[in-house]
Amino acid sequence: MAVPPLDPDRVVLHVGVPKSATTTLQFNLFADLERVVYLGKPYDRPGVPYESNAAIAELVGALWTRTELEFDRAHAAELLERGLRDRPGIDDPRSTVVLSEEALTWAGAADRLEIARRLRRLFGRCRVLITIREQRAALRSCHRWMHARRLINEPHDAWIARCLASAGRSGCPDDFAVRHYRFGALIEAYARTFGDDRVSVVATEQLRTDPASAASTIASVLPCDQQAVLERLESRSPRNASPGRLGTAYQRAARRGRALRARLLTRDPDWTDPLALAELNHGVHGVAMRALRVVDRPPRPASRETDAALAAYYRDDNRLAAERTGLPLGGMGYAV
Amino acid sequence: MSDREPVTILLAPPGSRAEAVACELAGEMTDAARALGDEVANRDGIGFSFERARTLRDAWHATSPPVLWHPGFAASSRTDPLVIARRLRRLLPGARVAVLMDDPVETIARVHALELGRAGRGPELERWVRARTRVDHYHGRAPDWALRDADPRPLAEASARLFGAERLALVRLEDPGRTPVPDWLGIGGPRFAEIVARSARSGGAKSHVSEGVRRALEPYYAGLPGF
């Protein structure tokens, strides 16, 4: 049965910059709340038809990886419809649909303003929750993530220096990696696209220093009270450090091993691995990952020069973000 | 400035031999050209200002020859080619566009060597390419930005849509002696061949391309003439 068009008031888009506790919110909150129809990672969620999850995964991929030449609006609308069809709770008019994906703010293949416009066309004037994190800490975490996947081989300081250099290999300042942490501009763009009153902002630091106010902001867009948000965020450790190179290699090997075993047992060469990210941090895998974390070389702290350069890069934008959101970003360690 | 003055925009995949040719055709990049190029190419919709770009365009036009090239125009994985083409069309509506095209595998070999600081061995390049073609289970896509950058087709398609086929020249580098080059580009066949040959010599190191690399790149460039 076709799903009727969604009322924008029933939709919340979580636009979290990478490394801003997005996984914590996705796995511990959105996926766990009653009356929330959650669309997002992990895409292999039990209880949801495989086709629905696959359609949403494809839609999200298209939203942020397809350029304007490649993006097909009609197909995107069709994917959304397929993704919502047969999803538990979608027929309940009191439920809220939450789409969460950090890549929506990634300065990558698709222009970020175009991503916002695509979302606006798909979901109408819905509510937007943006999560941010102090840039220097986020970039250290981001570097570790990319370094573990061998997408960067340089140490953190050298990488930042290259990002901030006036002209990189492609003539652009290679600042794409640091650009998506310009929150002021990001918040302004979403406010322009969806309306000032539709955009809420939570700083990751609030989850630690002032969880009640973070929970209050999150609860204002979700069909639950502040206490329910607090309980879910506090009951689980918010730490979700990316593994290093050894940990990443182990996770890949674990997945390959499982897939090989299953293909041999089922004799199905197309068997796909349903092992979720969370499972790779629990049980035997959890023990192995904890052991590897000890030997995996921890990232070096950033030098003072790098910290100063990043502070200078973000200062004006942080002031704009503080002005727009009313959050005391300076007190949370942001350069203002 | 008058928007009707003939301006030539050169596009070539970053790091490619075609880029070296574009660089030579455009001559030394003036500060005004760099500033205009930076504004157009280096800002996505969040941060781009048409008013600022218009002021920079006027400054560029007052001080520079009418050939505009900036490597960021063609970093198609980083900046949406259609968005860039729209901006250029709006700023320079009468412009003509030349897309210089080279074998993308050749470009990848150069980009890899540039990143490495020396010519890489076959297995090194293969590992580099495979790291970029492997779909990350977490995000469900491959971090293939560099591979997309080397493909000249999005540049050609975006330019054709915005500027029209009659204002667009697709110039291939494989056989420069026989490649048709439009008159408005201002270089005849022999001179073009000379520039291409020079760019090949001065292009810096190039990593070794093994069969494995070609196989890994097939899904990206299949269908490109010459691949």
Over residues A67-78, the pLDDT tens digits come to: 888 899 999 999
Q: SS3 of B96, please?
A: strand
The number of C-alpha atoms within 13 Å of A132 and in the hemisphere containing its C-beta is 29
Q: Give residue A127's pLDDT band: very low, low, confident or very high (50, 70, 90).
A: very high
Q: Do the beta carbons of residue B30 and residue B67 sit within 8 Å?
A: no
Q: Give residue A224's pLDDT band: very low, low, confident or very high (50, 70, 90).
A: confident
- Position A213 pLDDT exceeds 70: yes
Residues 133-162 of A with CB under 8 A from B: 149-151
pLDDT at A298: 65
Q: Does B41 touch chain A (CB under 8 A)?
A: yes
pLDDT at A238: 45
Q: Give residue A88's pLDDT band: very low, low, confident or very high (50, 70, 90).
A: confident
Annotate A28-62 with three-state secondary structure: HHHHHCCCEEEEECCCCCCCCCHHHHHHHHHHHHH
Sequential DSSP letters for A125-154? S-EEEEEE--HHHHHHHHHHHHHHTTS--S
- Position A2 pLDDT exceeds 70: no
pLDDT at B4: 47
Residues 93-122 of B with CB under 8 A from A: 111, 114-115
pTM above 0.90, yes or no: no
Interval A325-335 mean pLDDT: 94
Among chain B residues, the shortest Cα distance to A167 is held by B38
- Tell me the C-alpha distance between A104 and B82, whole Å: 19
Range of weakest confidence among A137-146, A316-325, A326-335, B80-89: A137-146
Contacts of A204 (CB under 8 A, 6+ apart): A20, A21, A131, A132, A133, A134
Interval B214-225 mean pLDDT: 84
- Position B25 pLDDT exceeds 70: yes
Over residues B142-201, the pLDDT tens digits come to: 677 788 888 889 999 999 999 998 899 888 887 766 667 777 776 666 777 788 888 777
pLDDT at B177: 66
- In 3D space, the residue among B81, B96, B139, B98 whose CA is nearest the CA of residue A60 turns out to be B139
pLDDT at A19: 86
**Cβ-nearest to B140 among A61, A150, A167:** A61
Q: Cα A98 to chain center, whole Å? A: 13
With beta carbons under 8 A apart, name residues in chain B contacting A110.
Answer: 80
Residues 160-179 of A with CB under 8 A from B: 167, 169-173, 175-176, 179
Length of chain A, please? 336
Interval A249-266 mean pLDDT: 78
Q: Give residue A183's pLDDT band: very low, low, confident or very high (50, 70, 90).
A: very high
The number of C-alpha atoms within 13 Å of A130 and in the hemisphere containing its C-beta is 29
CB contact under 8 A, A171 and B71: yes
Range of weakest confidence among A120-134, A142-156, B136-150: B136-150
- Tell me the C-alpha distance between A36 and A218, whole Å: 13
pLDDT at A10: 93
Q: Does B142 touch chain A (CB under 8 A)?
A: no
Interval A37-45 mean pLDDT: 80
Q: Tokens 């781009």 belong to which residue?
A: B48
Q: Which of A4-13, A121-130, B14-23, B97-106 has the highest mean pLDDT?
A: A121-130
- Tell me the C-alpha distance between B89 and B164, whole Å: 10
Q: Cα B117 to chain center, whole Å? A: 21
Interval A300-317 mean pLDDT: 91
pLDDT at A108: 63
* CA dihedral of A11, A17, A20, A21, whole degrees rounded to 10: 40
- In 3D space, the residue among A157, A178, A207, A171 whose CA is nearest the CA of residue A29 turns out to be A207
Higher pLDDT among residues A228 and A296, named by residue: A228
Hey, of B10, B44, B79, B161, which one would you mutate to test binding to chain A, going by the most A CBs within 10 A of its CB?
B44
Both tokens of A228, joined, read 């329910």
- Give the bridge partners for A200, in sequence order: A129
pLDDT at A205: 93
Helices H, strands E: what count in chain B?
10, 4
- Position A274 pLDDT exceeds 60: no
- Position A265 pLDDT exceeds 60: yes
Q: What is the DSSP letter of A297?
A: P
Neighbours of A324 (CB within 10 A): 16
Which residues in B38-63 are b (16+ Cβ under 10 Å) and which e? bbbbbbbbbbbeeeebeebbebbbee
Over residues A93-104, the pLDDT tens digits come to: 889 999 998 888
- Tell me the C-alpha distance between A122 and B44, whole Å: 21
Residues 228-267 of A with CB under 8 A from B: 255
Share of chain A above pLDDT 70, in %: 87
Interval B94-120 mean pLDDT: 89
Q: How far is B45 from chain A (nearest CA, A)?
A: 5
Interval A136-162 mean pLDDT: 85
Rg over alpha carbons for chain B, rounded to the nearest Å, is 18
CB contact under 8 A, B41 and A171: yes
Length of chain B, please? 227
Over residues B119-145, the pLDDT tens digits come to: 889 899 999 998 888 766 555 556 777
CB contact under 8 A, A170 and B72: yes
Higher pLDDT among residues A242 and A271, named by residue: A242
Contacts of A137 (CB under 8 A, 6+ apart): A19, A333
- Position A276 pLDDT exceeds 60: no
- Tell me the C-alpha distance between A73 and A68, whole Å: 10
- Position B73 pLDDT exceeds 70: yes
pLDDT at A112: 86
pLDDT at B202: 66
Both tokens of A93, joined, read 């008019």
Q: For residue A42, say if its preceding peptide bond is cis, omega within 30 degrees of 0.
A: yes
B224-227 contact pairs (CB < 8 A, 24+): B224/B104, B224/B151, B224/B153, B225/B172, B226/B103, B226/B172, B226/B174, B227/B103, B227/B104, B227/B105
Q: Do the beta carbons of residue A96 and residue A14 sit within 8 Å?
A: no
Mean pLDDT over each residue of chain B, to the nearest integer: 84
- Position A8 pLDDT exceeds 80: yes
Share of chain B above pLDDT 70, in %: 87
With beta carbons under 8 A apart, name residues in chain B contacting A188.
Answer: 46
- Position B99 pLDDT exceeds 50: yes
With beta carbons under 8 A apart, name residues in chain B contacting A112.
Answer: 44-46
